[in-house]
Amino acid sequence: MVHIEMAHTFPVSASEAFAYIFNINNSAEYWPNFIRFEDKESARWNKPGDEATIVLKLLYRERAMTLMMDEFQQNAFVAYHSRQDGLPNAKHKRFFEPDPKGMTLRLVIDYEPRKGLAGLFDKFIMKRGVEGALRKTIENLERRFRH
């Protein structure tokens, strides 16, 4: 299992950060390599069972990633999983933790590398790409939340 985790403290409340991040209209502002929603009109993203498909630029080409919401605790925690062709499925968690300076956002992604040579790609190249995407997400949110 590959486990990737990053955390950053922002000078906003958990409720403000949560409202911004889980408003799908803001996705393009903070999600790295975001191109579009596959079908924004049918995308839902605020309770378990909701689903949205986004298109990202990954490895120099457009890839559709379907996100399915597993858990949703307003202003505190969200868990979802993703499927994308040609890459392993992943589990995502977002923790919104109160902090004296505002709120600490903890981003977690876990995935099981595939078998064979593809698994080497997943363990090294994909892992670096995911880490870079999480860092860029934090940078984008930092710009947004630094008033």
pLDDT digits (tens, 9 = 90+) for 82-93: 999 999 999 999
The predicted model gives 114-137 an average pLDDT of 96
Tell whether 53 is covered by a domain.
no
For residue 119, give the CATH number of its domain.
3.30.530.20
Domain with 114, as residue range(s), is 2-26+70-145
Query: Which run of H or E residues covers position 19?
Result: helix 14-21
Whole-structure pTM value: 0.94
Tell whether 65 is covered by a domain.
no
- Residue 37: strand pairing partners: 54
Query: Which residue type, as a one-letter code, is found at position 17?
Result: A
Task: Measure the CA–CA gap between 37 and 28, rounded to whole angstroms.
Answer: 9
Query: Which tens digits make up the pLDDT trace of 15-68?
Result: 999 999 999 999 999 999 999 999 988 898 999 999 999 999 987 889 999 999
